[in-house]
Amino acid sequence: MIATPMTRLLQKDVKFDWTEKCQQSFEKLKTLLTEAPILVQPEPGREFVVYSDASLNRLGCVLMQEGKVIAYASRQLKTQEKYYPTHDLELATIVFALKIWRHHLYGERCRIFIDHKSLKYLMTQKELNLRQRRRLELIKDYELVIDYHRGKANVVADALSRKPSFALRVISTQMTLLDDGSVLAKLRAKPLFLQEICEAQKNDNSLQAKKVIFESVVESDFRVNPDGCLTFRDRVCVPRNDELIHKILHEAHSGCLNVHPGSTKMYNDLRKWY
C-alpha cells in the first residue's frame, strides 16, 4: 500500500514525522497520478459492471462497461472495519463503489460481482443486523444485480485490495527448438532463496550426513536436485540457520510481493517448497 507511510501520520496521537519512507511514498504516488491509465468514457443507457473485493487491509473495486475499464478505486480499511466479518467487509465494498461512482450509477442498470456467495442473497435474507440494514437502504436506491464471482477469477479488484502473491519461488525458462521448427518452452519453478540455501546446507552437518546416506542408498526420499541442493520429497531442506529461516519467513509474510497471509495460509504456502 503505497500511501501507508503518509496516511499513518493522520492517525490520532501520532507525531508528524516526515521520514524518508514518507518522501518515497509521496514521489511514487506523484508519478502514478501523472501517468494516464487506459480508461474509457462511460456511455449512459448501457449496463455498468462493478467488480469488488475486500481484504484484511483495504477495499478495492473496478467500474467497467462492455469489458472496458472506466475507473479504479480503493481505500484502506477504517479502524473499526478491521473487525468486521468477511461478508460485512464485502458489503462495505459495494457501498463504497456505489457512493464513489454515484454520478455514473444512479438511475442506470448495474451488475456487481462479489466473491462472497452469501451476499448474492442479501435482498432475501430475513435477519439482518443494523449495519446491514442501513447499507441495504442505500443499495435499494440503485437498479442493480449482485452476482457471485469466484475470488480466483476476480483478479482485477483483488489486485486493488491485496498485495500480489509473495515470491517464494522464481521461474527458470529453457527453450528448445524442435525438428519441425516449433519452439518448446519448459518452465521450472524454484524457491527464491535456493542458492543461499544450497550454500548454507554445506555448513549443516546433519544435512550433509543425509546427503551421504542418499548417495549410498538406492531408494530414499532424499534427492539432490540439478542445482546441487538436498531435497526431501521434492521440497528443499532448509538448514538450522536462524538468519536464513527468518529471511524466508519474512519474505513469506512481509515481502514486497506478499498476499497478507494468515498463519495457516502462510504455512501451507511454505510447506510446498521447504
pLDDT at 38: 66
pLDDT at 124: 62
* Tens-place pLDDT, residues 135-160: 888 888 888 888 866 544 444 444 44
For residues 167-171, give the mean pLDDT.
46
Q: Enter the pTM of the model.
A: 0.46
Q: Which residue has the higher pLDDT, 94 or 170?
A: 94
CA dist., res. 230 & res. 212, Å (int): 10
Lookup result for grid cell 466479518: 85
List the CATH code of the domain at 38-161.
3.30.420.10
pLDDT at 97: 92
Q: Which residue has the higher pLDDT, 119 or 2?
A: 2
pLDDT at 101: 94
Q: CB count, 10 Å around CB of 238?
A: 20
pLDDT at 48: 94
What are the residue boundaries of the structural domains of the chain, listed by start?
Answer: 38-161, 190-256
* Tens-place pLDDT, residues 220-247: 788 887 777 888 888 888 898 888 888 8
Residue 94 in contact with residue 112, Cβ under 8 Å? Answer: yes
Phi, psi dihedral angles at 144 (to 5 degrees): -135, 160
Residue 240 in contact with residue 203, Cβ under 8 Å? Answer: no
Q: Where are the alpha helices (DSSP H) in the chain?
A: 4-7, 20-33, 86-100, 102-105, 130-139, 155-161, 194-201, 205-216, 242-254, 263-271
